[in-house]
Amino acid sequence: MGFWTHKRVVVTGGDGFLGRYVVALLKKKGCRYIFVPRKKKYDLRKLGPIKRLLRETKPDIIIHLAAVVGGIGANRINPGRFFYENLIMGVQLMEQTRLFKIKKFVAIGTICAYPKFTKVPFNEDDLWEGYPEETNAPYGLAKKMLLVQAQAYREQYGMNSIFLLPVNLYGPSDNFVPQHSSHVIPAIIKKCFDAKIHKDDSITVWGTGRPTREFIYVEDAARAIIIAAEKYNKPEPVNIGSGEGIAIKDLVGLIVKMTGFKGKIIWDASQPDGQPRRLLDIRRAKKEFGFKAKVRLKEGLRKTISWYKRQKEFFQT
């Protein structure tokens, strides 16, 4: 508890899906000085607002969660935007962190940074063994450049910057609405409930269902970030995952069963599958700062579906 009591912490993206859980956990741990920059006042794509943010808040630690992100559809539509905005936010923020002599910078990367055909489970040492899956490459490479910057700044300037690689997140208050920006779990949950409401006899799912994925419950991911911010101070990147893999076809089957949808699943093979396989080697996180995910996939899905169902019932009353 004592570590966070007097720390001044800036959480970029603190009003987003993951950010809200990180902020809530910081408060629970006794952090009294948490600042969440809002885009309207602090546009992190621009140098002036970044400098103003750091002058006004004087943080000890920056946790950089802010990102422009979405599912396969969003990545296909916005490759240039996703590359530029993610890169420019991170690069300028980390440079100003150095110039303002802030004690620690926690950069959040993405599993999309891994090569398309990385051997499973993905080990952090394999990050540079090939090009990322094409659909997500601009976003993945933009985030991976923050690892290069963090390591270079540590070597030249002695700056304490760490780089974490969370696997796909899910959980209550995820993004369920936009057609192209939702990730697979919220997208399928929404499809199932919408089909039940409209009495549709089928849902259509992108791809073949053959790829495998790993997911981490958002509360677990937030806990990993807070522990790493407190305890980890090395240049090597660290995977943040659950270690539990599942084929997309099996995942969809689970969600269909849990939501009570009785119709047919139509697989649209004309749409991309994305990366063929995803599963992280999670040993480094356990070894370096003692992190292990607590919430298994089925339990997390139940919690997420239950939350979403309550929202649907609220909006329909």
Would you please indicate which residues are annotated as catalytic (active-site) residues? 139
By C-alpha distance, which of 16, 144, 106 is closest to 70? 16
59: alpha, beta or left, given left = phi > 0 and alpha = psi -120 to 50? beta
Q: b/e for 242-252, b at 16 or more Cβ within 10 A? A: bbbbbebbebb
Element (H, E) at 215: strand 212-217
What totals of helices (H) and strands (E) does the chain contain, helices first? 11, 11
Tabulate helix, strand, coil % of the chain (nearest 5). 45, 15, 35
Angle at 13 between CA 44 and CA 230, to 5 degrees: 110
